[in-house]
Amino acid sequence: MRVLIAPDSFKECLTAEAVADAIAAGWLRGAPADQVVKIPLADGGEGTTATLVGAMRGTLHRTRVTGPSGAPVNASYGLIEDGKTAIVEVAEASGLHCVAEADRNAMTASSYGTGELIMAALEHQPETLIVCLGGSATTDGGAGLLQAMGAQLLDDNGHPIPPGGEGLQHISHFDLAEAKARLAGIRIVVACDVTNPLLGDLGAAAVFGPQKGASPDDVRVLDNNLCHFAQCVEKSGYNIRSFAGSGAAGGIGGAVAGILGGLLKPGIELVMSAVDMEAHMQAADLVITAEGAIDGQSASGKTPTGVAKLAQHYHVPVIGLAGKLGEGDMTVIHEAGITAVFSIAPGPISKDDAIANAALYLENTTEQLARLISGLK
Q: What CATH number has the domain bearing residue 234?
A: 3.90.1510.10
Which of 234, 268, 302 delimits the end of a domain? Answer: 268
- Residue 301: pLDDT band by 50, 70, 90 thresholds? low
Q: Tell me the residue range of the domain where 288 lies.
A: 2-41+276-376
Q: Between 377 and 311, whose confidence is greater? A: 311
Q: What CATH number has the domain bearing residue 333?
A: 3.40.50.10350
Residue 152 shares a structural domain with residue 261: yes
Residues contacting residue 322 through CB under 8 Å, at least 6 positions apart: 290, 291, 292, 293, 294, 304, 341, 342, 343, 344
**Does the pLDDT value for residue 334 go beyond 70?**
yes
pLDDT in tens, 249-281: 999 999 999 999 999 999 999 999 989 999 999
**pLDDT value at residue 297:** 67
Residue 232 shares a structural domain with residue 302: no
Which of 223, 252, 268 delimits the end of a domain? Answer: 268
Residue 286 shares a structural domain with residue 341: yes
By DSSP bridging, strand 59-66 and strand 72-80 are antiparallel
Residue 243 shares a structural domain with residue 370: no
CA–CA gap between residue 353 and residue 329 (Å, rounded) = 26
**pLDDT value at residue 300:** 63
150 burial class (0-12, 13-18, 19+ CB within 10 angstroms)?
middle
Residue 159 shares a structural domain with residue 281: no
DSSP of 168-196, one letter per residue?
Answer: GGG--EEE-HHHHHTTTT-EEEEEES---
- Residue 69: pLDDT band by 50, 70, 90 thresholds? very high
What mean pLDDT do residues 201-221 have? 96
Q: What is the DSSP letter of 204?
A: I
For the chain, the domain total comes to 2
Residue 352 shares a structural domain with residue 293: yes
pLDDT in tens, 105-141: 999 999 999 999 999 999 999 999 999 998 899 999 9
Residue 233 shares a structural domain with residue 318: no
Query: How far is the first Cα of the chain from the last one, in angstroms, to the nearest whole number?
Result: 10
